Structure 1
């Protein structure tokens, strides 16, 4: 009798296997990602904030229809993804969105995307070595980007000169800021850590809290309530960073809605249905910059920016029309603006009553010690010794 033989198991094809999540709109895609997914998007010059959210989503790989680094400037996002061990494939082209079906299981190997045995998209693998080369080339090409930035800055100043120079057009808030510190919370990759570092400062100084978009819910999650909420223009991309919960809106004393100049589109009706009476702020500035501007116009004694974008790389990495807005707003705010990361190093804390008692006690001990080594002190100690001994014996006799 012939015994059946076990057939050898076929080796699994090489590469990364995962569910494809496909969407041209990056904010929409980010809200649908699950661990192990392969994100398929179209995002030229991946910024740091988007990359961090992809890392937090624990994706297995990212396939980009556009280059992760175009060469215009050294975008910070790709390095965050590579350092997290996420496989990157870019330049697969816009036609990949027709071939790749959302929710389908795909395999990624050596820059090619397979659906079953069929190759549906191909691109370039961006590893650490190639990334370092491209970042170096991009740094040398920043001159042209800065020329464009200079032109946009002059145009923004021309349009917003009344606001920047004289404060005209800004809404009048019910929240009083004059002479008080103000903390402006902007949703960003580091805002949670920066808020934790400010706990002592927030507890002791009780500043006015201005939240920008989803920064309002970040404050609620940290156990604090925003005094002022600044909402982005309705024309801005709808994403998790621009959404604000009804609870945060109802709890704020002032809600400010930005409106692009020359447009009448506002979410006033929907906010009023929530019981919120928003203030209209017509400006081309970003919500982040509008929050800083309101604090400055309110004559805040100090403005602490949480989650804001401060460095030159941050300015360029944001890839937004608000670069000029951010630059000029920071010039307008001036020396009152402090980055949240520097506050823990500079703030020593409020002097408490027990601190004074401790100093007084230390001084008293020093005086007693100094007197004790003098002849007069020795005489006092000799006179007090019998009384102290009697007191000790009486206390000892009262004990069981």
Structure 2
């Protein structure tokens, strides 16, 4: 391939951080790096994670939006002004080849710096707002067909799996007690930060058991809380959160295999192994239910078609079955922050200022030293003013 030495026309130049799983990549992304992913239909949470990492640009081996369903990630990145490029013609090996390399985008070429030269390694094309809008319209037009297939798949798997959910989970010797208590199950889903802030008074006053599902532990710690229990396959949680002192339940497949067990053991943490069907958030809710929780509140949970399509699932059988079983005790607080946003008014400000001045005035009235100081200040001010 050819060489390029003129850097004046480069659209962006930085070190590439590459991974096939965006959530894994975001754990190690450094500010102003170029993110190289292989992520069709980038979801909103992935986009938020990339923005939080302060990426310079995102290069995708797959379409940012295929038009299958209205994924929101591409729109979020465009709104933030992040340049987006799609690699033309596959090149699946680029993830391994370019991770940690210095790269640049020039026109329709992706170049890498080796042996003192810029060498093109793939063709790319910039993704535009008009293109994403066209794909969004395509997704909206076919949404009814996608929904029909999603419902059919959900009901088919629900019929096959219902017996698994009728039986109780394996009994675990948990230290965390949930009987007759409120339990909050936190998933790192859409609007989780805002919802946690809205429920801060409830959490402070009721002191519920806090169950984190994988990365939900990081979400809780970001908001100043420490989880009591962590449930999941441990693929999206940080080591810091995993070692926070919470009791750990590793979610295993029904056959007992558990990819997350190796990581927990490598950190030297005690854990419980819980084989169960369904998603980890389903298991967390079932666990709280079977431990006789009085009320189960979910934050950031996945509960609709778009949520599950973004997770790569074609149906939501386990979630349907679990929510049907525990329904009377379940409150889904996802999106509660979007329901009402309190507004500050001049009346509120006046009340706050008055509430601040009352104890100050009281202290001045009963303290002779403070009273004398105020009198001296008043006399001095009058001498300046007149």
Cα distance in 2 between the residues matched to 1:179 and 1:245: 27
2:322 corresponds to 1:329 = yes
Structure 2 equivalent of residue 342 of structure 1: 336
Aligned to 2:356: none
Paired positions, count: 332
Q: Name the CA shift for 1:265/1:101 in 2 (closer, same or farther; >3 Å).
A: closer
Taking the aligned partners of 2:157 and 2:238, their CA distance within structure 1 comes to 23
1:79 aligns with 2:75: yes
Q: How does 1:144-293 map to 2 (within 5 A)?
A: 144-169=145-170, 171=172, 173-188=174-189, 190-232=191-233, 238=235, 240-241=236-237, 245-248=241-244, 250-252=245-247, 255-265=248-258, 277-293=270-286
Are residues 1:51 and 2:47 paired?
yes
Q: Which residue of 1 aligns with 2:37?
A: 41
Contact 1:230-1:291 within 8 A present in 2 as well: yes
Structure 2 counterpart of 1:107: 104
Unaligned 5+ segments in structure 2 are 1-5, 343-371, 373-386
TM-score if structure 1 supplies the norm length? 0.71
Q: Is the 8 A contact 2:218 2:238 kept in 1?
A: no
Distance 2:262 2:29 in 1: 32
Matched, 1:65 2:61: yes
- 8 Å CA contact 1:170–1:294 kept in 2: the answer is no
1:143 deviation in Å?
A: 3.9
Could you say if the C-alpha distance between residues 295 and 251 of structure 1 is closer, same or farther in structure 2, counting changes exceeding 3 Å? closer
Residues 182-233 of structure 1: per-residue CA shift (max 9 Å, x gap): 111112353333222221111111112111123234434544332322122x
Per-residue deviation, 1:124: 3.1
Asked if structure 2 preserves the Cα contact closer than 8 Å seen for 1:75 and 1:317, the reply is yes
Distance in 2 (alpha carbons) for counterparts of 1:156 and 1:82: 37
**How far did 1:52 drift?**
1.1
Partner of residue 353, structure 2: none
**Mapped pair 1:304 → 2:297:** yes
**TM-score when normalising by structure 2:** 0.73
Deviations 1:246-293 (A, max 9, x none): 533x443xx322111224447668757978653332222111111122
- Say which SS state the counterpart of residue 309 (structure 2) adopts: helix
Per-residue Cα deviation, 1:65-121 (whole angstroms, up to 9, x for no partner): 111112221111111111111111124333264496333333224443234554322
Q: 1:111 to 1:326 in 2, by over 3 A?
A: farther
* CA contact 2:170–2:274 (8 Å) conserved in 1: yes
Q: Secondary structure at the match of 2:287?
A: helix
Please provide the CA RMSD for this pair.
3.4
SS in 1 for 2:88: coil
1:136–1:274 CA distance, 2 compared to 1 (3 A): closer
Q: Which has the larger radius of gyration?
A: 1
SS at match of 2:14: strand
CA contact (8 A) 1:22 1:97 kept: no
In structure 2, the CA distance between the partners of 1:161 and 1:263, relative to structure 1 (3 Å rule), is same
Which residue in 2 is equivalent to 1:358? Answer: none
Unaligned runs of 5+ in 1: 1-9, 349-399
Does residue 295 of structure 1 match 2:288?
A: yes
Q: Note closer, same or farther for the CA distance 1:292–1:121 as it changes in structure 2 (3 Å cut).
A: same
Structure 1 residues 31 and 194: alpha-carbon distance in aligned structure 2, compared to 1, 3 A threshold: same
Map 1:352-363 onto structure 2 (within 5 A): none
